[in-house]
Chain A
């Protein structure tokens, strides 16, 4: 029966032999000719696990690295200035006592204003004339094909190709030529697509080279 030191020596020899194969350059000590090393050589000779297809390796690499680009782009755009602000999806969870107090003050002011207005109603002869802006036909767009877009959706969609959503953008769109313009920078409409739900999307590019998709349905006319 082998002694403990023989076991340790055999284990060391086997480990060294395998490390030499894995790590490349041969070590100085000569390889021992033990049964375990012969078994190792036989095992290595029988190992015929194939290499991956080069096309698959290249495709997966491209996918991973292009995903890396789009993620970095997305995270960078969320903090970019450009006159672009991002909507907060957690408005109500961020309510603090200060905001509640401010809302209470504003509500009190409205109550006072309405009370003051109602006093005029009791004296209709001296009541001021108040034009209803909301009811005015001037509220419809008057500048031809110009609209203002508020992009409020940050939901991921699938349109059959790579998508990077830009954050909340206020921009002006013109139909002829197709163009989107924000006050401080320009967005160019590159493409449009329809997703599985029928939603129309515009693919736009900013002046600094960032590209992304805007939902076309989240657009309203400026005077509405």
Chain B
């Protein structure tokens, strides 16, 4: 049995016990807290909103553990996180201050920071331009889900997820190339 399969079996075992076993739920929390936070952060772009969404996600997961009917626990958990973020976006809220405001830290230098922020902002903007299913695949991937788990979350087949990934990467590359003379590494798509 492969390491991945053992890991998945262990998580499935924890999930099966988590409704009545506090330690099992705690271990699941420890394993997925960072991934869920980062997923929520990518969707919200704000630390406080991401913390709020993460808190709601795990609270709902805890409340719903007795109804967890097996299958992939990560897929189930990320489905909750996705719904929480969607509901959060529907609620009216005050616009927070941007987090990428210049800081007093001199490292790595204002020009480099500006370039990095510009690159990141461009990637984020490009992700926003992707069709929603392609964007979800990329965000789930960046959050650490495997292709099979993404297929479970999105209720699609694994081959369909693979093609969505491919199209998302090509779309990103195409958009980036359009912004730069000569394209990335001189290649055009």
Contact present for A18 and B123 (CB under 8 Å):
no
Q: Which residues of A contact B42 (CB under 8 A)?
A: 49
Contact present for A52 and B120 (CB under 8 Å):
no
Closest-by-CB residue of B relative to A16 is B147
A143 CB to nearest chain B CB (Å): 43
Contact present for A39 and B142 (CB under 8 Å):
no
Q: Which residues of A contact B146 (CB under 8 A)?
A: 19, 22-23
- Say whether A107 faces chain B, with CB atoms less than 8 Å apart: no
Count chain B residues whose beta carbon lies closer than 8 angstroms to a beta carbon of A: 49
Contact present for A64 and B25 (CB under 8 Å):
yes
Contact present for A24 and B4 (CB under 8 Å):
yes
Partner of A15, one of B50, B59, B162, B189: B162
CA distance A43 to B116 in the complex (A): 13
Partner of B147, one of A15, A38, A47, A60: A15
- Say whether A36 faces chain B, with CB atoms less than 8 Å apart: yes
Partner of A65, one of B22, B47, B55, B163: B22
A71 CB to nearest chain B CB (Å): 9
Report which B residues bind A (CB closer than 8 A).
Answer: 3-4, 7, 20, 22, 25-26, 29-30, 33-34, 37-38, 41-42, 47, 50-51, 54-55, 58-59, 62, 116, 119-120, 123, 138, 141-142, 144-147, 159, 161-163, 165-166, 169-170, 172-173, 176, 184-185, 187, 189
Interface size class of A (residues with CB under 8 A): 35 or more
Contact present for A69 and B37 (CB under 8 Å):
no
Partner of B162, one of A12, A48, A49: A12
> Which residues of chain A from 18 to 56 have any CB-CB distance to chain B below 8 Å in the complex?
18-19, 22-25, 35-36, 38-40, 42-44, 46-53, 56
CA distance A72 to B42 in the complex (A): 35
Contact present for A67 and B54 (CB under 8 Å):
no
Q: Which residues of B contact A64 (CB under 8 A)?
A: 25, 29, 58-59, 62
B138 CB to nearest chain A CB (Å): 7
